[in-house]
């Protein structure tokens, strides 16, 4: 399956704010938008489809996420699954 290009327009001001946000978070604009799309899909259909490797060249390394409760690396999870892991782990440690 070939990757598809999505184009849309935003104001220059919004684009610059978004670029600054991504730089501050040490990630790329593509990564943020793709993660958000997966979040939307997971809410809509119960679970997001399997992620395929993004062919967009990354200009900055992505952030690493580790669970503060168990220490597990949860970077590979989509945002909603990260949240679910954190909530379940927190509840398990509070028992």
Mean pLDDT, the chain, whole residue set: 77
Q: Is the pLDDT of residue 76 over 90?
A: no
Any idea how long the chain is? 95
User: What is the percentage of the chain residues whose pLDDT exceeds 90?
Assistant: 12
pLDDT for 16-59, tens place per residue? 999 998 888 888 888 888 888 888 887 665 554 555 445 455 55
Say how far residue 88 (Cα) sits from the centre of its chain: 19
Other CB atoms within a 10 A radius of the CB of residue 1 amount to 4
Other CB atoms within a 10 A radius of the CB of residue 35 amount to 18
- Per domain, the residue ranges of the chain are 12-49+62-93
């Amino acid at each position: 399956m070939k990757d598809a290009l999505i184009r849309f327009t935003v104001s220059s001001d919004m684009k610059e704010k978004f670029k600054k946000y991504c730089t501050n978070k040490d990630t790329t604009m593509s990564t943020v938008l793709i993660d958000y799309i997966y979040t939307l899909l997971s809410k809509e259909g119960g679970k997001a489809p399997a992620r395929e490797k993004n062919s967009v060249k990354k200009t900055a390394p992505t952030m690493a996420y580790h669970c503060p409760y168990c220490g597990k690396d949860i970077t590979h999870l989509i945002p909603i699954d990260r949240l679910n892991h954190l909530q379940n782990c927190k509840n398990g440690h509070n028992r």
